[in-house]
Amino acid sequence: MSRIGNAPVVVPEGVEISISAENMVTVKGKLGELKQTVNAAIKITHNEGEITLSRSSDDKDIRSLHGLYRSLINNMIEGVSKGFVIEQELVGVGYRAKAQGQKLELSLGFSHPIVFELPQEVKLTATTEKGKNPHIKLESFDKQLIGQVAAKIRSFRKPEPYKGKGVIFKGEVIRRKAGKTAAK
């Protein structure tokens, strides 16, 4: 029994939802519009102020899709009404981040700067304060897209366990390893 899939999704005011015959869910809100195709085995009902999902059978694959589509629709509704924010830090001597429109220029200790172009749906802010690590803030209404962009930025210099240098998410704790010890 899917606990997540059975929970109804509450639709806040200002969010419009339309469900087409091909199981295409379209969510419109003040921040944008998102679309998601839902498997035909999952039935979507839209009542006043909430959406419920039900499945056609209890096969393992269909049970897993039940909770998945409920979570995706919930994230779409939350995204177009509130939006999502991901914050990252550049930890390391000489690491810099500079935002120029939709381009992010990163200096991460390589011989050349990395220029990364972000999609239009993602809003970028890069700040540098004296005495603190450079800070990157990503904002978007699409949770999947913002997560993918943040993962790509992190992949340029993953945090290493000995000194903790790299691109980390705000509040993330890097497990540190002990280095070599001198022989006696």
Say yes or no: 89 and 160 in one domain: yes
**Strand arrangement, sheet containing 84-91:** 123-127, 135-140, 84-91, 166-169
Say yes or no: 96 and 157 in one domain: yes
Closest CA to 102 of 121, 113, 118: 118
Tell me the three state secondary structure of residue 60. helix
Query: What are the average pLDDT values for consecutive 10-residue runs of the chain, which has 184 residues?
Result: 81 90 90 92 89 89 89 94 94 92 92 94 93 94 95 94 92 88 69
Tokens of 60: 């393992």
> Are 161 and 176 contacting, i.e. CB atoms less than 8 angstroms apart?
yes
Tally of domains in the chain: 2
- Residue ending a domain, choose from 19, 49, 81: 81
> Are 136 and 104 contacting, i.e. CB atoms less than 8 angstroms apart?
yes
Write the DSSP symbol of residue 76: H
Say yes or no: 134 and 77 in one domain: no
Say yes or no: 63 and 89 in one domain: no
Domain contains 181: no
Say what the pLDDT of residue 182 is. 67
Say yes or no: 50 and 101 in one domain: no
Say what the pLDDT of residue 2 is. 58
Say yes or no: 56 and 18 in one domain: yes
Domain contains 64: yes
Q: Which residue range forms the structural domain that includes residue 48?
A: 3-81
- Residue ending a domain, choose from 81, 96, 111: 81
Task: Read off the pTM.
Answer: 0.87
Domain contains 183: no
Say yes or no: 88 and 164 in one domain: yes
Say yes or no: 88 and 72 in one domain: no
